[in-house]
Amino acid sequence: MSDRTDLLLSIADDELFLGWRNSEWTGIAPFLEEDVAFSSIAQNEIGHARALYELAARELGTTADELAFDRRPDEYRCAPLVQLRRLEWARTIARHWLYETADEIRLEALKESDDPEIAGIAAKIDREEAYHRMHARMWVDRLLSAEDGRARLNDAVDELWPYALGVLDAELRPELRRRAEEQLGRSLPDVEPISRGVHEAELAELWDEMTMVRRSAPAGAQW
């Protein structure tokens, strides 16, 4: 597999799993606005995953659906951050904000790619992600503005920080630290990143649910 396909699959898997995790708030978010927001963000992320899988599928001679649903759990390349199951609210916001901050740095780098297809798709994805980032930052500021919210958010960020570093390649991590510390107004611990390639038990659990329809009707479900 080429480095290009490997890169496309890594990002697509991140977006698919995070999209799926975000959709777990559909119907039960603590505010109606957030129910709509997380559902809409999930839809966008899965749309990005689909477009990235389609590019990769062309090279591999397969289809986006086969890449999304027909691999074994240990073949997915998604960062452990997006594998974690639906988190309580402060941790949900911490993951959302850490992922979107890391994703922005990754997209900025990809937009400069010499490969016009990669640069083009990154620029298109970035337009939509701008709304996710605004939403995430608004929530971080909101939680930081009250004592209880600040304490809960800070605990959640500390817990997820090694996972957040694992979303990016080593050379982009210092920039993630810089941006995250700037918005939080404090320094973050020096920790060992939990990198791509680690498969949390929660990944297999989600895979089981995500691929259930596909596995029950391998010839293609019709309805």
Partner 1 sequence: MVTVEQVWAALEEIPDPEIPVISLVDLGVVKRVEIEGASVRIDFTPTFMGCPALDTMQRAMVDKVEELGAEAEVRVVLDDSWSTDKITAAGKEKLRAAGFAPPAPRTAGKLELVQLQRGFRCPYCGSTDTALENIFGPTPCRSIRYCNACRQPFEQFKTI
**Near partner 1 in 25-84, by CB under 8 A:** 33, 36-37, 39-41, 43-48, 50-51, 55
* 167 token code pair: 């979303």
Closest CA to 211 of 73, 51, 79, 39: 73
Q: To the nearest whole angstrom, how small is the minimum distance from the Cβ of residue 158 to partner 1?
A: 26
State how far the Cα of 88 lies from the Cα of 18, in Å rounded to an integer: 15
* 38 token code pair: 């997380």
Residue with tokens 């001679």: 61
State how far the Cα of 196 lies from the Cα of 11, in Å rounded to an integer: 11
Please report, as a single letter, which amino acid is at residue 67. L
Nearer to partner 1, 43 or 62 (CB): 43
Nearer to partner 1, 36 or 198 (CB): 36
x-or-dash pattern for partner 1, window 132-151, by CB under 8 A?
--xx-xx-------------
DSSP state of 84: S
Q: To the nearest whole angstrom, how small is the minimum distance from the Cβ of residue 34 to partner 1?
A: 9
By CB under 8 A, name the binding residues for partner 1: 33, 36-37, 39-41, 43-48, 50-51, 55, 116-117, 119-121, 123-128, 130-131, 134-135, 137-138
